[in-house]
Amino acid sequence: MPRAKRRLGQHFLTDPRLLARIADALGAGPADTVLEIGPGPGALTAALAERAGRLVAIEKDPELVPSLRARFPNASIIEADALEADWPALAGPRFLVAGNIPYNITSPLLDKALDPPRPERIVFLVQKEVADRVTAAAGEPAYGALSVGVQSVAAAERLFIIPAGAFRPRPKVDSAVLRLVPLAEPLVMAAEQWGFRRLVVGLFGFRRKQLARGLRELTGWESARVAAALATAGIAPDLRPETIAPSRFAALLRALVDEGWTPR
């Protein structure tokens, strides 16, 4: 087992039963292409290679690439930063994504995985707290901007927990397996995503404020104009962001745009 590098956020999982469960959660078959993010020493890679028809793996650590290429001659091992690589160009138009991803780049990797064109399925091993936030429903304590952003374009499930003691080196927190299935009809279209993100992140920045007040601060509008947009979206002005479902945020975005809001 190679020594994990803290600067790359490496924590290796080697239990074959857990690795098989992760690979099974992806549901890859002989007709599928799987793109693995951060294969590390290749433990999950082996389980994915047994199931997928084609495997492409992106590894940033140059010291791990030669051994991966020697161990998996039928896979495409790409030495690159997964955040900068063009995933569809490497994997093709239809692909699945899996990975035990570094904790320190979880959010940008989730963003990239859910940018169009999206994979058919995504299974990531992430911090349990992140999985809880991604899958939280409106009104739950963990619900926030991350929940809304992901659920606006994908169905999210926390499948099972993997304790910290299963990793080498041992992280400070437990992990969880997160499965994302992009929606056939996303709540927001690609052209709306910037405005949607600006709205959601902005309102959760006023988490303890009622929506009407938060919107006045976000848009700079007077009360009547904000009230009109909320009425169009069918949202009561005294509600708070943590109680609003992703679909209502999408409706609110469109109502604001119809009223003349230009996200900045």
| Choices 3.30.565.10, 3.40.50.970, 1.10.10.10, 3.40.50.150: CATH for 6-182 | 3.40.50.150
Determine the Cα–Cα distance for residues 102 and 119; give it in Å rounded to an integer: 20
Domains 6-182 and 190-258 share a fold: no
Axis-axis angle for helices 223-233, 211-219 (nearest 10): 120
Structure tokens at 255: 């109502």
Q: Which residues contact 184 (CB under 8 A, 6 or more apart)?
A: none
Determine the Cα–Cα distance for residues 127 and 164; give it in Å rounded to an integer: 10
Domain boundaries, the chain: 6-182, 190-258
CATH class of 190-258: mainly alpha
Using an 8 Å Cβ cutoff, are 135 and 157 in contact? Answer: yes
Q: How, if at all, do strands 121-127 and 175-182 pair?
A: antiparallel
pLDDT of residue 9: 47
Q: Please report which helix (H) or strand (E) contains residue 217, including its range.
A: helix 211-219
Mean pLDDT, residues 172-185 taken together:
97
Angle value at C-alpha 58, between 105 and 9, nearest 5 degrees: 35
Confidence class for position 7, pLDDT limits 50, 70, 90: very low
Residue 6 has pLDDT above 60, yes or no: no
| pLDDT, tens only, 212-227 | 999 999 999 999 999 9
| pLDDT, tens only, 34-77 | 999 999 999 999 999 999 999 999 999 999 999 999 999 999 99
Mean pLDDT, residues 12-34 taken together:
96
